[in-house]
Structure 1
Amino acid sequence: MSSISTTSTAASTAAANAALQSAAQSIISGSTGNSSMDVGTLVTALVNAKTAGQAASLTAQQTSDSTQVSAYGALTAALDALQSGMAGLATGATLSTFAATASGTGLTATAGTGAVAGSYSVGVTQIASSQALSSAAFGATTQLGTGTLTISLGSQSMNINVDSTNNTLAGIASAINSGSGNPGVTATIVTGSTGAHLVLRAANTGAANVINVSTSNVTTDNGLSSLGVTSTASTTGGQSTITSANSSNAWTQSSAAEDAEFTIGGIAASSSTNSVTTAISGVTLNLAAASTGTTQTLNIAADTSAQSTAINNFVSLYNTVVTTMATLTSFNSSSSSQGPLLGDSTLQTIQNTLATIVGGAVGSGSTGSTLAAIGITLKDDPADGTMVINNTTLSTALTSSPATVASLFNSTNGIAEQLNSSITNFTQTGGLIDTRTTALNTDLASITTQQGALADYTAQLTSQYQAQFTALDTLMATMNNNSQYLTALFGGANSAGALASANNT
């Protein structure tokens, strides 16, 4: 039990003893006839005298156990944050990150898994676009007739039933947008000086994604059949073409369906989208504008900025773990306060394990590397345990000695992987922390049981004492009354008594 718990128990015992002395005085007073006995105070004092020490001891232990459980929770949270934050370093993924930069405009790129360092000459001659068609002009409220419209995009299609409730341009547009199985065509109404136009747009880019509209079962035709249009996709990735069902009410193509066309190192390539993931392994090209006749340089290089950020984050999270452990094991002699895990063997094991890993070398002999080689060292105060980082040294290592950095953080026995494995052993079910907190929780459950039993005993003892001392108080009151009667009758030290006075007369 901690010194604070011992002090608390002693104080409770002292208070109970003081109350017991006061109760004893109540008995003396009652027995000498000075006053009636204070049964309630007496019972409370006697019960407290028998139970206060145990109750205070259980409460103190309960507080101590609960504080330790919370302390282990704080330590686990810090360890989990470190483990999560260094995941990329533990697997080696962070040191495999690359950055992609383009020399011109109209082209950006991102490098991901599988990318390798290199330089590429990229020329974009055409970007992918989606088709947009505009119908001939109609009156905004003109009822165009009834029938069926079949709307298709590429190989997918849907049927729209046109009846008297939706046979205006606005009704047809609404039916297309809300149609079940819409293949990816949106419809809007654009009103100009000549009237209202139905505008259809394909959701997807690419030469193959062309829009076709056909009509069938048309009755009371007032322009519905002229909404038919046939689009022909280019077989070479170029612009789509259209043929209207009614040449006098012809559709126009405001934007053609076409593929992106580009070259990489002189090799021609195409894509139905402007986000190209298959041209360069591990690299996504984002095409924004054509640059016919010119090329630009795309460089893929190690992303030292992201790597530096990840390593700095690792150091920061490790230091948080160290400072958390320092707080949990602190001691202040002037105020007699201490951390809840001061002297705890489980925490000491964790502390020593982590310190050994970050202070050790990866590899052996002349091939071994330490964190100091990339600018990460312990603070000058050996008792502190936190690390400091020289970002100039780290930057130099990342650019000039990437093999050293890769060795330190390799996915087999690198610093981060060693820490990751150790933290898992600490925090997993059945691990060091779980074993300790399970024992504490078991003790807390036992304390709760003991407190329940003590409460029952207290209630029983109170009832027993209440009955005993109530009877005693009644007896002493009767005896005092009898004593006063006899004194009045026969006399006492200062009185002759009623019988003596009667004889004298």
Structure 2
Amino acid sequence: MTTVATSTGSTVDPTSAVQQAAQSIISGSTNSTMDVNSLVSAIVNAKVAGQTDALNNKKTADNTQLTAIGTLKSILSLLQSSLTNLANGTTLSQFTATADGKGLTATAASGAVAGSYAVNVQNIATSQSITSGAFKSTDTLGTGSMTLNVNGKTSTIKIDSSNNTLSGIASAINSASDNPGVTATIVNGTDGAHLVLRSAATGLATGINITVDADDSTSSLGKLAVKSGTAVASTTTDPNDPTKTITTPARTTIDSSGGWTQNTAGQDANLTVAGTAVSSPSNTIKDAITGVSMTVTSDSVGTTQNLTIGQDVNGQKTTIEAFVTAYNNFVSTAASLTSFDSTQAAGSQGGALLGDSMMNSIKNTISSTISKAIGTGKDQVNLASIGISLQPDGTLQTDETKLTDALTNNSGTVASLFNSTNGVAAQLNTSLTSFLQTGGVIDARTTALNNDLSNIADQQTQLTAYTQQLTTSYNNQFTALNTLMSSMATQANYLTALFGGTNSAGALATNAK
């Protein structure tokens, strides 16, 4: 027998509820009581239960599909991320750069070409460092202004009573918002305090220049003026071996008339690459070899090293294996979403997307691309050609030894399989973009389900309003019924008293005598 849950939580048989409604007419005359609210709820629920269940079941089904499609979209996005660099050719353009000595490191980027290059470093790039004459640390040097100039960048610093000591000037230089790239410090020696300036950048073009505009031309402030210049490269005989020469690179110089001395000259890095002279203001040398960035330190000076550019086999292997993992995750997720388990209860045996046409289309497209060969005739290659085999359950399995061998000794096969025009990864990437894009099949299905859920919500709102109307109507009917029963009971009592009853002759009987 079907039962209906009432608003109070009890369960009432709707057929019995109707019987109780009829019985209330009789009960009214006997003054019995009943739970009208439960009765009304049972009758109303019996009337709308079918629609309520249908809407709730549809809502649950839509939400289940939305969750499943969200999972599918996520796993497809991860698959696309894993193959992007395989699809566009970036992975197969990865190279490593290795030097066989000390003090030389390099990285290879897009555009690099495999090869070996002899690199001889004559000197590394350095920054100019200069030291002023001696002052007493507490001396006030006067007022005015000083302008610093480094490679065309300038900063003018006002000197007044708040900063006209040597330490005050150093602090003003360091804190200047338009500092041209100079750091200042104080070194206290046996002869007094010295202002030490150092260019933040390396190279020949970073000489430090200071001009002073003193309010009093006789003040000590004028001693801080300095002018840098450059000396050209020169070659001299080695004093320790007359058969050899010493080459001094081009370097910064200073006018020492103000008492300044140069501690370290600013100079460019100088080296030869495959016999070609190269200079750089920085110790990171870019594009001396196309697609290669080299960095030199003092350990490399005076040495000739071989710099080898080769395929980044480990990096390529890692990327390909990440793609295999992402593909296998898709296969297992798709299997879960389309599974069928007869041991489960009816209605829960099938996966959320079992038999779904969109899911089947996506699975077929991806598996077809994975399994087919690239190229024609004897030039055909597939994933098995590089050690990646398709398993009976649809997943891929990698033979690492074969994959490493293919990347190392048969790079042409790998390049053909993953070419950026119609390679496996390129085709998969195109399909995945179509599936995932705005307006694609997944987006269209998600939009349709959300629209359906919105319609269900509207229908539930309408059903709630209808339920409330029914409840009000039945309550009004039972109120009228109860009023009628109460009136009938009063009249019955009156008639009983008038005509007599079991224990009374009645008023009329008495009057008749």
Normalised to the residue count of structure 1, the TM-score between the two structures is 0.91
CA distance, structure 2, for counterparts of residue 500 and residue 241 of structure 1: 144
Partner of 2:183: 186
Partner of 2:436: 427
Question: Which of 307, 313, 335 is the aligned partner of 2:322?
Answer: 313
CA distance, structure 2, for counterparts of residue 327 and residue 483 of structure 1: 72
Question: Structure 1 residues 299, 388: CA separation in 2 closer, same or farther (over 3 Å shift)?
Answer: same
Partner of 1:353: 365
Matches within 5 A, 1:2-41: 15=5, 18-33=12-27, 35-41=32-38
**Residue 402 of structure 1 pairs with residue 411 of structure 2:** yes
Q: Report SS of the residue matched to 2:461.
A: helix
CA distance, structure 1, for counterparts of residue 264 and residue 150 of structure 2: 15
Kept in 1, the 8 Å contact 2:186–2:194? The answer is yes
Please report how far the alpha carbon of residue 485 of structure 1 lies from its aligned counterpart in structure 2 after TM superposition: 4.2
Question: Structure 1 residues 444, 279: CA separation in 2 closer, same or farther (over 3 Å shift)?
Answer: same
Q: Report SS of the residue matched to 1:183.
A: coil
CA distance, structure 1, for counterparts of residue 473 and residue 463 of structure 2: 15
Number of residues of Structure 1 aligned to a counterpart in Structure 2: 488
Question: Structure 1 residues 497, 368: CA separation in 2 closer, same or farther (over 3 Å shift)?
Answer: farther
Question: Structure 1 residues 193, 486: CA separation in 2 closer, same or farther (over 3 Å shift)?
Answer: farther
CA distance, structure 1, for counterparts of residue 465 and residue 184 of structure 2: 78
Q: Any unmatched runs of 5+ in structure 2?
A: 234-248
Partner of 1:199: 196
Q: Report SS of the residue matched to 2:110.
A: coil
CA distance, structure 2, for counterparts of residue 181 and residue 148 of structure 1: 15
Partner of 2:138: 141
CA distance, structure 2, for counterparts of residue 386 and residue 287 of structure 1: 47
Q: Report SS of the residue matched to 2:126.
A: coil
Q: Report SS of the residue matched to 2:163.
A: coil
Please report how far the alpha carbon of residue 29 of structure 1 lies from its aligned counterpart in structure 2 after TM superposition: 4.1
Please report how far the alpha carbon of residue 58 of structure 1 lies from its aligned counterpart in structure 2 after TM superposition: 1.1
- The AA in structure 1 aligned to 2:252 is S
- The AA in structure 2 aligned to 1:407 is S
**Residue 341 of structure 1 pairs with residue 357 of structure 2:** no
After superposition, the C-alpha distances for 1:181-203 in whole angstroms (9 at most, x for unaligned) are 32211222333444433221212
More moved, 397-406 vs 23-32 = 23-32
Question: Structure 1 residues 197, 330: CA separation in 2 closer, same or farther (over 3 Å shift)?
Answer: farther
Partner of 1:85: 82
Question: Structure 1 residues 18, 42: CA separation in 2 closer, same or farther (over 3 Å shift)?
Answer: closer
More moved, 227-236 vs 144-153 = 227-236
CA distance, structure 2, for counterparts of residue 378 and residue 108 of structure 1: 41
Kept in 1, the 8 Å contact 2:171–2:184? The answer is yes
**Residue 42 of structure 1 pairs with residue 42 of structure 2:** no
Q: Report SS of the residue matched to 1:341.
A: coil
Kept in 2, the 8 Å contact 1:58–1:447? The answer is yes
Kept in 2, the 8 Å contact 1:153–1:183? The answer is yes
Kept in 2, the 8 Å contact 1:29–1:36? The answer is no
Partner of 1:369: 381
- The AA in structure 1 aligned to 2:275 is G
- The AA in structure 2 aligned to 1:30 is S
Kept in 2, the 8 Å contact 1:36–1:477? The answer is no
- The AA in structure 2 aligned to 1:308 is K
CA distance, structure 1, for counterparts of residue 311 and residue 107 of structure 2: 12
CA distance, structure 2, for counterparts of residue 503 and residue 52 of structure 1: 60
**Residue 223 of structure 1 pairs with residue 223 of structure 2:** no
Please report how far the alpha carbon of residue 500 of structure 1 lies from its aligned counterpart in structure 2 after TM superposition: 8.7
Partner of 2:127: 130
Please report how far the alpha carbon of residue 374 of structure 1 lies from its aligned counterpart in structure 2 after TM superposition: 0.9
Question: Which of 326, 350, 354 is the aligned partner of 2:335?
Answer: 326
- The AA in structure 1 aligned to 2:87 is A
Please report how far the alpha carbon of residue 15 of structure 1 lies from its aligned counterpart in structure 2 after TM superposition: 4.4
CA RMSD, Structure 1 to Structure 2 (Å):
2.3
Partner of 2:306: 297
Percent identity, aligned pairs only, is 50
CA distance, structure 1, for counterparts of residue 376 and residue 54 of structure 2: 54
CA distance, structure 2, for counterparts of residue 172 and residue 357 of structure 1: 71
CA distance, structure 2, for counterparts of residue 149 and residue 341 of structure 1: 77
Partner of 2:468: 459
After superposition, the C-alpha distances for 1:228-283 in whole angstroms (9 at most, x for unaligned) are 1111123445332222342xxx2232221001011112222111111111311111
Partner of 2:453: 444
**Residue 282 of structure 1 pairs with residue 294 of structure 2:** no
Question: Structure 1 residues 192, 478: CA separation in 2 closer, same or farther (over 3 Å shift)?
Answer: farther
**Residue 72 of structure 1 pairs with residue 69 of structure 2:** yes
Kept in 1, the 8 Å contact 2:214–2:221? The answer is no
Please report how far the alpha carbon of residue 480 of structure 1 lies from its aligned counterpart in structure 2 after TM superposition: 3.0
Please report how far the alpha carbon of residue 171 of structure 1 lies from its aligned counterpart in structure 2 after TM superposition: 2.0
Q: Any unmatched runs of 5+ in structure 1?
A: 1-9
Kept in 1, the 8 Å contact 2:269–2:282? The answer is yes
Normalised to the residue count of structure 2, the TM-score between the two structures is 0.89
